[in-house]
Each structure stands twice: as structure tokens, then as C-alpha cells.
Amino acid sequence: MMLYRLSAKEINFLCVVFQHPLPLIVRDPFEISTKKQIQEEWELFCEKFTEKGLFKTDTVGGIEVDEQLSQTMMCCFGADMMISIIEKEQINHVFYINSGQRMLLSKINNNEYDLQLYKNENKFNNEFLRAIHCNHTNSIKESEPFVLEVPLKQFERLLEWYDGQKNKEIANFCLENRVNYDICMMTLRDIHLSSGETVLTERINDPGTILTKISHENGVARLAKSIYSENGDLVTLMQCETLRLPSVVIDFMKG
């Protein structure tokens, strides 16, 4: 795992070097700066990164970026998928997935950000679980697998039935769809309470978005994946072991 702590200005200049827009969670540090101020900051940035061994100048004056830093930035800029952790209507952690590589961009404060590249999938999984406040070391229960995929309107109807305590309607629906009524009720309860985590999964340059609400306790996770696509909006209700959460969230269309 490679970790870089960078300022908003440094990330902005790296975006200039790689000719890529600024990541959404990074503020624009030069919004009110003059061209002269930006040029002065650029010179200080190049000097600092050269001293650290992160930049080299080639024979024609071009910039050669350190290989590890380049891999980290290219995982972000060339990502196939973004996974954002939403907390109190704010996004402070974004995971980028690119051809098997995984990278995390975290907002530390209004000026500092951490960038981590994960070459080990287990380390990435552990970091993802930590980001959603899931202590999987406390996993003590085995969970019965549960998957129910329904159109968005049917999911909204299920929530209306739950809210109106129309348990008989839910029981009949579960019987018709051959799924466990008790697990379905617990999943609806957890989603209805909205006390868990929310994760936004987006594919880059390809239509489709998933909003996943997750509740977890003692190694058992219950979640609702709302899948918005050109083929129609679906919701998948699931129960699984918390250790499966990273793969469940990354797997775009399936449970």
C-alpha cells in the first residue's frame, strides 16, 4: 500500500500534469488566485516534488513523475468505477477501481487529502469495511443468504406495507417469491430506520448508478441496492456476511 498526503494545491497541479479535471471532493484552491500567484505556487510545487524525488525533468524540460505516484494518480484518473461513502450528506471517501487496481481518496480536512493505492485486495477490503465503520473482526454469526430483486415501485410498496404494519401483505409477497419472511422484515426494518451507511457506486463513461444502504451487526449485513439504469430501476434486498460487502458493492448489477 502506498500512501500520499497532499494539499489541495498539490492535487490541482498533478491534475494539470496529467491533464485531468480535479476530483469532485477536492476543493479548487485557486478559485480567487491571480495568474501570478498560481505561477509562484507552481514553481514552489515543482521544487518541493523534485526535492522529494517525485519529479524529474527530462532533456527537453518535460516532467517525469515518480512511478508509484503516477500509478496512484492514473488509478484515480483512469478509473472504470467510483465508490463514494456518503456520511451526513457529505462525501469524504471515494474509492476508484481501475483494471484490478484500487485506490482511495480521503478528505482529511479542507486542505489535506490522503491518496492510497492498494495492490493487495485484502488490504483494500479491510479499508473499505473500515470506511463504512464495519468492524468485521467482531463477525461472530453465520448469516443465511438472502437475495430478493424487485422493481423500484414494488420496493416502495414493501416499505409502505412495513410502515403501515401490513405484515400479512409482506408475508404473502415473501411466500409468492419463496424468500424468508423474517429476514425480509429485518432488512426492511434496517432500511426503514436509515441508521446504516450509504454507498454510491458509479460507472465511468457508462450509464448506471447504484445507491446502496447498508446495515451491519455482529458479522451480518443487510442492505438494499437501488440500481438505476437504462434497462429500468431495480432494488435488490440482501443479507450476507459483512466480509462479502466489498465484492457485493463492486459487483454492479448482481448480489
| Extended beta strands in the chain, E state | 2-7, 55-57, 63-65, 81-87, 90-98, 101-107, 112-118, 146-151, 197-203, 209-217, 220-228, 234-241
Residue 1: per-residue pLDDT: 65
Cell numbers given for 163: 410502515
pTM, two decimals, is 0.89
Residues 88-101: pLDDT tens digits?
A: 889 999 999 988 78
136, pLDDT greater than 70: no
Report pLDDT for 137: 55
Q: Is the pLDDT of residue 255 over 50?
A: no
Q: How confident is the model at residue 138 (pLDDT cuts 50, 70, 90)?
A: low
